[in-house]
């Protein structure tokens, strides 16, 4: 009797991942940068040990990539595509290690069929390396604490590898501060972990984490601990009491991030993980401690503070594996398998729609939320004004109201000029505050403000930084034939750092300077 050959799930996952990576590389060249990507490219142009609002990993990766490929959308996005390829392999390895190869393949497929991880495979943000190093840490932790794990290895090297991965995660995003406490609690929950805590290896591994993270500490020590103040006191100052509608927004965004049906399945899996962990299942205990702290934390915070879609990404890793294991259970009936297929399909359709939205104007989308269309169009109009500078004078400084506009113009203007943002107009401008000394006072400037983030006090604010101001014709940008937003432009004569208001300032009508 000839036995049917079982599919090689590892090989299937590898080929599917490589195919997706090729498609994403092609896609990366066709779609304009998201504002955050342009902002982190600005980081890379000002290489430093760290930055005001984020650690440096994203900037370092982009800097390396554009050095290899040049300043382009692909150059900025290559690290995201490669990181996603590695993350897919890690998710497969995690599912296969804990359950079976088919669980690993389903985990990898499910993650790629979501807006959260699918778009994260091509949009370069700090979450990309964060999730990668977080998943790698979880994979190593399984070997350290599970009863059938490989253990610490010779000289405890797996603890030091875990420390290195934690440090790299901390270099990626401050959310990784949740990772060491979760590892400690997980270690305390297993005999092998508790035994390891009686050796020096975990504590030396923690020292390795801090050593890897030390560039951020050094930068902060030289800048008045600005990042830590922003991420603690600054965040607290944005809390304005209990706002239940924020929880509704949080739940809605998460349902879009992973797909509504999968989101329900993940929440159910989280509850089942708690039950199984309490019954003594070691795999459930590891996955529960990997996901529950983050899910609970962000859910508790959500009525008080806007929780962005991407913040929760690391917390889904454990429940993704558990959900895939549940779907692959042979005891699952037809209805359960049908729900699994429908969940992945729904998420894939949402992700595909988000991929195609910038390329296919007929796809319905709330244009106000479309942040990847129109930047080349805007830059073309701004460049036209820059080229009208008198002969012998340098092109005017470009100031974008809001880091998004400033960063996109820096990238899409043909000479990649040194743009400035809110700090040039007397308001805190995030990392741009630390780059203000790269331009000189006394030159003319073109000031650009997006109607989605309007410069409401333009007469007063511009009065403090310009000798005279001419309002230029507004620029409306499009996705196909659909208008996305309108930008207001001003020509500022003799820009200088904010000072006392000047009574002789004149604001002329749009089109006065052409």
Count how many domains the chain has.
2
Domain limit, last residue, from 305, 324, 356: 356
Query: For residue 362, is it within any domain?
Result: no
Verify that 124 and 181 share a domain, yes or no: yes
If DSSP codes are grouped into helix, strand and coil, which group holds residue 498? Answer: coil
Query: For residue 245, is it within any domain?
Result: no
Query: For residue 345, is it within any domain?
Result: yes
Verify that 490 and 382 share a domain, yes or no: yes
**Contacts of 505 by beta carbon, 8 Å cutoff, 6+ apart:** 459, 462, 463, 466, 467, 468, 469
CA distance 493 to 147: 71
CA distance 399 to 231: 26
Length of the chain, please? 514
Verify that 179 and 317 share a domain, yes or no: yes
How far is residue 425 from each of residues 84, 237, 409, 433, measured CA to CA in Å?
Answer: 39, 22, 17, 11
* Backbone dihedral angles phi then psi of residue 241, each to the nearest 5 degrees: 85, 180
Residues 49-92 pLDDT 10s:
999 999 999 999 999 999 999 999 999 999 999 999 999 999 99
**Contacts of 69 by beta carbon, 8 Å cutoff, 6+ apart:** 75, 78
Domain limit, last residue, from 324, 356, 388: 356
Verify that 220 and 346 share a domain, yes or no: yes
- The domain containing residue 446 runs over which residues? 375-508
| C-beta neighbour count of 62 within 10 angstroms | 26
Share of the chain above pLDDT 70, in %: 95
Verify that 348 and 408 share a domain, yes or no: no
3-state helix, strand, coil in the chain (%, to 5): 60, 5, 30
Query: For residue 264, is it within any domain?
Result: yes
Q: Is the pLDDT of residue 249 over 70?
A: yes
Residues 259-308 pLDDT 10s:
999 999 999 999 999 999 999 999 999 999 999 999 999 999 999 888 88
**Contacts of 60 by beta carbon, 8 Å cutoff, 6+ apart:** 44, 47
Q: Taking residues 374-379, what's their average pLDDT?
A: 97
Cβ atoms of 512 and 475 within 8 Å: the answer is: no
Q: Is the pLDDT of residue 348 over 90?
A: yes
Verify that 423 and 338 share a domain, yes or no: no
Query: For residue 492, is it within any domain?
Result: yes
Q: Taking residues 319-323, what's their average pLDDT?
A: 97
Query: For residue 364, is it within any domain?
Result: no
Count helices and strands in the chain by DSSP H and E runs: 21, 5
Cβ atoms of 487 and 445 within 8 Å: the answer is: no
Verify that 28 and 147 share a domain, yes or no: yes
The predicted structure's pLDDT at residue 514: 37
Verify that 165 and 269 share a domain, yes or no: yes
Query: For residue 361, is it within any domain?
Result: no
The predicted structure's pLDDT at residue 117: 95
**Contacts of 15 by beta carbon, 8 Å cutoff, 6+ apart:** none
Verify that 196 and 288 share a domain, yes or no: yes
Q: At 410, which helix (H) or strand (E)? A: helix 403-412
Verify that 221 and 94 share a domain, yes or no: yes
How far is residue 399 from each of residues 33, 64, 384, 417, measured CA to CA in Å?
Answer: 19, 27, 15, 10
If DSSP codes are grouped into helix, strand and coil, which group holds residue 163? Answer: helix
Verify that 217 and 94 share a domain, yes or no: yes
Verify that 42 and 181 share a domain, yes or no: yes
Tokens coding 90? 């890690």
Q: What is the DSSP string of 432-461?
A: GGGGGGGS-TTS-EEEEEETTS--TTHHHH
Residues 148-206 pLDDT 10s:
999 999 999 999 999 999 999 999 999 999 999 999 999 999 999 999 999 999 999 99
């Amino acid at each position: 009797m000839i036995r049917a050959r079982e599919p090689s799930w590892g090989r299937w996952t590898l080929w599917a991942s490589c195919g997706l990576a090729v498609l994403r590389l092609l896609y990366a060249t066709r779609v304009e940068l998201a504002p955050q990507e342009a902002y982190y490219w600005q980081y890379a142009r000002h290489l430093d040990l760290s930055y005001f609002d984020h650690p440096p990993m994203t900037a370092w990766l982009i800097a390396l990539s554009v050095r290899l490929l040049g300043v382009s959308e692909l150059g900025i996005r290559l690290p995201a595509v490669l990181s996603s390829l590695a993350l897919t392999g890690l998710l497969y390895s995690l599912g296969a290690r804990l359950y079976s190869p088919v669980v690993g393949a389903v985990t990898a497929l499910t993650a790629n069929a979501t807006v959260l991880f699918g778009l994260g495979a091509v949009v370069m943000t700090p979450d990309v390396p964060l999730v990668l190093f977080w998943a790698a840490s979880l994979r190593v932790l399984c070997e350290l604490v599970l009863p059938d794990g490989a253990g610490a290895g010779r000289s405890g090297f797996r603890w030091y590898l875990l420390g290195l991965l934690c440090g790299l995660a901390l270099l990626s995003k401050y959310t990784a501060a949740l990772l060491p406490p979760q590892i400690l609690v997980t270690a305390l929950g297993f005999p092998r972990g508790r035994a390891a805590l009686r050796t020096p290896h975990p504590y030396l591994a923690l020292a390795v984490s801090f050593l890897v993270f030390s560039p951020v500490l050094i930068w902060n020590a030289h800048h008045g601990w600005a990042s830590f103040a922003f991420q603690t006191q600054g965040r607290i100052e944005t809390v304005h009491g209990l706002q239940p509608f924020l929880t509704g927004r949080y739940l809605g965004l998460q349902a879009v991030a992973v797909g509504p049906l999968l989101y329900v399945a993940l929440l159910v899996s989280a509850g089942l993980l708690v039950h199984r962990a309490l019954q003594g299942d070691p795999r459930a205990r590891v996955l529960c401690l990997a996901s529950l702290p983050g899910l609970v934390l962000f859910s508790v915070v959500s009525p008080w503070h806007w929780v962005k879609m991407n913040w929760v990404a690391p917390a889904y890793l454990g429940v993704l594996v558990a959900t895939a294991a549940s779907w692959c259970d042979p005891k699952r009936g037809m209805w359960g398998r049908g729900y699994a297929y429908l969940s992945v399909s729904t998420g894939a359709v949402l992700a595909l729609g988000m991929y195609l939205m910038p390329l296919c104007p007929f796809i319905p989308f709330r244009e106000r939320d479309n942040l990847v269309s129109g930047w080349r169009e805007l830059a073309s109009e701004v460049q036209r004004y820059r080229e009208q500078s008198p002969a012998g004078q340098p092109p005017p400084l470009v100031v974008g109201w809001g880091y998004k506009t400033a960063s996109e113009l820096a990238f899409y203007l043909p000479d990649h000029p040194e743009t400035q943002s809110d700090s040039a107009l007397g308001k805190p401008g995030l990392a741009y505050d630390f780059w203000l000394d790269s331009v000189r006072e006394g030159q003319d400037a073109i000031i650009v403000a997006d109607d989605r983030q309007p410069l409401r006090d333009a007469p007063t604010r511009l009065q403090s930084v310009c000798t005279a101001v001419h309002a230029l014709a507004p620029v409306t940008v499009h996705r196909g034939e659909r208008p996305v937003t309108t930008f207001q432009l001003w020509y500022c004569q003799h820009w200088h750092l904010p000072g006392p208001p000047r009574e002789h300032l004149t604001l002329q009508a749009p089109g006065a300077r052409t």
